[in-house]
Structure 1
Amino acid sequence: MPSSPPSPPVSPWWTPAVHADRRPVLLARNRIEAAARSYFAEHDFVIVDPPGLQRSPGNETHLHAFSTLATGNDGTQFPLYLHTSPEFTMKKLLAAGERRIASIGHVWRNRERGPLHHPEFTMLEWYRAGEPYEAVMSDCIAMLRLAARAAGSPTLRWRGRACDPHAEAERLSVADAFARHAGIDLLATLDASGATDGEALAGQMRDAGLTVPDDRGWSYLFSRILVEKIEPNLGLGRPTLLDLYPASEAALARRSPTDARVAERFELYACGVELANGFGELTDAEEQRRRFAAEMDEKQRLYGERYPLDEDFLAALAGMPAASGVALGFDRLVMLATGASRIDQVLWAPVAEALA
């Protein structure tokens, strides 16, 4: 049989015809950003502009950074990183006395590329000092609604799934979500302090008919269940606020005052897509140091590398007021508001792919 002809090459984003097709979505993106900035202005937020270059890019096990070498005036070189979030800088500003702050800017994460991931993307991040994390949950729902209005869409859409941003949001604990969608009693795999039991979780997975990979710890199994069984069922028809994460999966959040096994961490979902990650912020500097050290030990074990701790951040944390904060993937918000199926469709200029 004759071989099939090769597929025609895809035209670059900068070709006039391709750009003309993409332009309506890009203009909708601008309208959504303008609406978000207006929202923050109306609610007395100060827009801040954190620098991308940092001594530490963040200290979570599975976040991978881009690194560079800075050269001083005397020729001495030292490492710097492009931040994975403006979080450290923004919390320093809270310690300095700011009360409501927001940032709309680029962040960078290595090893991430796909329909929902891009190595350089726009993060919308904001903090409320002295306010509970339910306040930023309400902000998140407001962002869904203003994005839909700015895009002229009654619903949020992604790959055949729909979500009404104006419907009352579902607030669902992680434990309840695991019980409902995976048949797993997650809290039974944690002790009273929140310490995890990987064998207990693996046993429940087997009982539920789920495959358990060899030599994997509790955190990996938790993430696998979350991605495969839980997330696809969230934010369908109405937004979901997935709340009260296990404390071991919330390195920057304070523990729940009613159950030490879980923490004040939530994620916002629409159309099965995770859009935002928020916390009742941890302000105990020594506890934060311990958590970062544990995260970096695990990163060293899994990936053979670790990132330095931001000592300025830890020093500032001791003077930071109680606060709530959230980071929202702005590009994903635009995707859902415009019905785009891939993140590169909503970027003015996507980063080049690897050379063939």
Structure 2
Amino acid sequence: MTDTPWWNPGRHADRRPVLLARNRAQAAIRGFLADRDFVEVDPAALAISPGNEAHLHAFATQAIGNDGQARTMYLHTSPEFAMKKLLAAGETRIAAFAHVWRNRERGPRHSPEFTMLEWYRVAEDYGVLMDDTAAMAQLACVAAGTRLLRHGEVVCDPFLPFARVSVAEAFARYAGIDLLATIRADGPDPAALAAQAAAAGVRCAGDDTWSDVFSRVLVERIEPHLGHGRLTVLDRYPAAEAALARSCADDPREAERFEIYACGVELANGFGELTDPAEQRRRFQAEMVEKARVYGETYPLDEDFLAALAGMPPASGIALGFDRLVMLANAVPRIDAVLWTPVP
């Protein structure tokens, strides 16, 4: 049946129970948010800038004006910029189930178009978002008629208290690397991290940046261990890997960024949000320099977003891969199985 198109009646009948479980999970999460006074918003998908992180890739299009002139626009990779503008406008608790698009991403856990659940809390600590995500994982399980998230042979019980570990602690525990020792006052030291990674048996190349080595260790040595048995919150990312998060008050080498894992799969990415427009501009510019170096292209900065950031109150925000959560709750191995109409 795997070669049968998704719209074949027989195959659709096989797929339908999971798709209905997806709908139940979405309805339950909407109820959870409404009970906590969140306003559901509907951000536009077309944007001046799709985001300014070096390794995110967008779909571009041409918007033709009434004068016949073409202007490049992008399908957003996240509704973040639009939603933060709403926070600057005065909203205090907002959420969106948004279709988002990311190019160069396709695989068992990646679709070029997918559903992101993003929500923000003004004047609240980013730790509350961890509790929100755990509750949503529980709701997805209930909707699927199970207690466990499952990916392959690995299971995770979201009803258990989640584990919380810093990135530095995880690097020490699973790779024997002293991560913070590789971050100097003037920034990350690529040679220092590469030396430790090589000693741990992680392959490094002579032209690797600090971020290259960091990502390789994270993917190869850290992520496979996370979210076994219970949800894992990987907290306090290095500031160099947290372009949109504010720095930790007790150590500027780290930032208020976390990711939540279940069964070795990343589910959500959250922040204590950066609200300094000058610092945000500097970080975006640095990201685009890196994007130009690696991929030979850049995206424009959203000047309206940077202007709005000056009026945005302190807030915490998070993006959850809704399709991945449905995958794990229903124990299906591929993201296409939980999409009503998979991308061709």
Q: Residue 163 of structure 2: which of 166, 170, 173 is its match?
A: 170
Q: Residue 179 of structure 2: which of 173, 181, 186 is its match?
A: 186
The aligned residue for residue 131 of structure 2 is 138
Q: Residue 50 of structure 2: which of 49, 57, 61 is its match?
A: 57
The aligned residue for residue 44 of structure 1 is 37
SS at match of 1:260: strand
Q: How do residues 149-160 of structure 1 correspond to structure 2 at under 5 angstroms? A: 149-160=142-153
Q: Residue 340 of structure 1: which of 324, 327, 332 is its match?
A: 332
The aligned residue for residue 270 of structure 2 is 278
Q: Residue 103 of structure 2: which of 106, 110, 116 is its match?
A: 110
How big is the shift at 1:46?
A: 0.1
The aligned residue for residue 87 of structure 1 is 80
1:219 paired with 2:219, answer no
The structure-2 alpha-carbon separation of the partners of 1:244 and 1:9, relative to structure 1 and needing over 3 Å to count, comes to closer
TM-score by length of 1: 0.96
How big is the shift at 1:266?
A: 0.2
Q: Is the 8 A contact 2:52 2:301 kept in 1?
A: yes
CA distance in 1, matches of 2:160, 2:59: 39
CA distance in 2, matches of 1:343, 1:159: 13
The structure-2 alpha-carbon separation of the partners of 1:253 and 1:9, relative to structure 1 and needing over 3 Å to count, comes to closer
The structure-2 alpha-carbon separation of the partners of 1:286 and 1:18, relative to structure 1 and needing over 3 Å to count, comes to same
Deviations 1:121-180 (A, max 9, x none): 000000000111011111111111111111111100011110001011000000000000
SS at match of 1:149: helix
1:253 paired with 2:278, answer no
Gaps (5+ residues) in structure 2? none
TM superposition outliers: structure 1 runs of 4+ over 3 Å: none
Q: Which amino acid aligns with 2:144?
A: A
The aligned residue for residue 5 of structure 1 is none
Gaps (5+ residues) in structure 1? 1-7
How big is the shift at 1:209?
A: 2.2
CA distance in 1, matches of 2:157, 2:273: 29
How big is the shift at 1:26?
A: 0.3
Q: Aligned pairs, how many? A: 344
Q: Is the 8 A contact 2:138 2:147 kept in 1?
A: no
Q: Is the 8 A contact 1:173 1:244 kept in 2?
A: yes
CA distance in 1, matches of 2:68, 2:325: 43
Q: What's the Cα RMSD here?
A: 0.9
Q: Which amino acid aligns with 1:223?
A: S
CA distance in 2, matches of 1:137, 1:203: 34
Q: Is the 8 A contact 1:50 1:103 kept in 2?
A: yes
CA distance in 2, matches of 1:105, 1:174: 28
CA distance in 2, matches of 1:158, 1:273: 8
CA distance in 2, matches of 1:269, 1:114: 18
Q: Residue 236 of structure 1: which of 204, 207, 228 is its match?
A: 228
SS at match of 2:251: coil
How big is the shift at 1:214?
A: 3.0
The structure-2 alpha-carbon separation of the partners of 1:9 and 1:246, relative to structure 1 and needing over 3 Å to count, comes to closer
The structure-2 alpha-carbon separation of the partners of 1:9 and 1:50, relative to structure 1 and needing over 3 Å to count, comes to closer
1:98 paired with 2:82, answer no
1:200 paired with 2:189, answer no
How big is the shift at 1:105?
A: 1.6
How big is the shift at 1:207?
A: 1.6
Deviations 1:74-94 (A, max 9, x none): 101101000000000000000
Identity %: 66
Q: Which amino acid aligns with 2:139?
A: L
Q: Is the 8 A contact 1:192 1:260 kept in 2?
A: no
CA distance in 1, matches of 2:128, 2:198: 39
How big is the shift at 1:9?
A: 7.8
